[in-house]
Structure 1
Amino acid sequence: MKAFQIPNLLRAATVAAALVLGGAAAQAQPGHGGPGGHHGGPAMMAPGGLFGGHMEHLLDLVNATDSQRSQIEAIFKAARQDLSGQRETGRKLHEQMATLYTATNVDAAAIEAVRVQMSALHETASKRLSQASIDAARVLTPEQRAKIAEIMKKRQARMAARHAG
């Protein structure tokens, strides 16, 4: 079992965030549930530079203004700060789980209790980062979100083609 680490969760979620931004754009298009429609699912961004570089590149592609970049950076800086304390908690839970699995007698109830705690930690991070992604999407124009959706659709098609062959 891999340790729950906020930085890894955030890095992996950069693309998910772009999908949410793109999904929001798709929802804003006629015939897709109207403005503000939502597909659901977690939406998260990565730390490091402005979102690990991936979101910075997307913001470049949609010609985001300095003001938009500053607002989005502040949104995710706040989210990272809100979640910073969870890293140590996740590490301790992982260690606790490993100890439970290596004990002489495997205690199913104790393992389930730790699993529930780990799930709650993941859910908290997911909710906070989803809200940050929603806030960031609202900073961008519908046209910018539509362009991100187009970029992500092409990226998904390339990934699918790689995995199919």
Structure 2
Amino acid sequence: MKAFQFQNLLRVGTVAAALALSGVAAQAQPEGHGHRGGPAAMAPGGGLFGGHIGHMLDVVNATDAQRSQIDAIFKAARQDLSGQREAGAKLHEQLAALYTAPNIDAAAIEAVRQQMGAQHEAASKRMSQASIDAARVLTPEQRAKIAEVAKRRHARMAEHRRPG
């Protein structure tokens, strides 16, 4: 029984990670782009969905209602994080200015690095919550199917990375 519970925990964790990675990547996607036109459908950079959360929702035969709910979840998360993009850009500009200054101020660079880390942590936490919320929209069978597809894709990617 304990092994079964552990396997289920791993499956749910894999799904949450897959949704989180796709959601984080999707947060930068402009409104109205992606598979089926949904705002959270496209995940630039791939993640575990190979670039398309919409594709994974196709794989699990997600209903229109599920798609709509998941799109709304990630849209809300993106809106929550929208102000962070500008703040992040300003931090990057500050860092560039610090590195190009006549004298390198290590303490100031470290302070900006810490601010950037805190911002990334906040974004990660928000997208993780969105992923949990999205996972709850899917059935256990759908989450297991996503975990299975993600596991196969991960194995294929690992195979390609092996030295020949």
Q: TM-score range by the shorter chain?
A: 0.7 to 0.9
Alignment of 1:83 with 2:81, yes or no, is: yes
Stretches of structure 2 lacking an aligned partner (at least 5 in a row): 35-39, 44-51
Counterpart among 119, 123, 130 of residue 121 in structure 2:
123
Greater displacement, 38-47 / 75-84: 38-47
Q: Which amino acid aligns with 2:6?
A: H
Alignment of 1:52 with 2:50, yes or no, is: no
Greater displacement, 101-110 / 36-45: 36-45
Look up the match of 2:135: 137
Partner-residue secondary structure (3-state), 1:104: coil
Taking structure 2 as the reference length, what is the TM-score of the superposition?
Answer: 0.76
Q: Which amino acid aligns with 2:20?
A: A
Look up the match of 2:20: 43
Partner-residue secondary structure (3-state), 2:85: helix
Structure in which a larger fraction of residues adopt helix: 2
Q: CA RMSD in A?
A: 2.4
Look up the match of 1:31: 5
Identity percentage of aligned residues: 65
Q: Which 4+ residue blocks in structure 1 deviate beyond 4 angstroms?
A: 33-42
Look up the match of 1:164: 162
Measured against aligned partners, the alpha-carbon deviations of 1:117-138 in whole angstroms (never above 9, x if no partner) come to 1011101110100000000000
Give aligned pairs, total.
137
For CA contacts below 8 A with separation 6 or more, give which structure has more relative contact order.
Answer: 1
Taking structure 1 as the reference length, what is the TM-score of the superposition?
Answer: 0.75
Look up the match of 2:66: 68
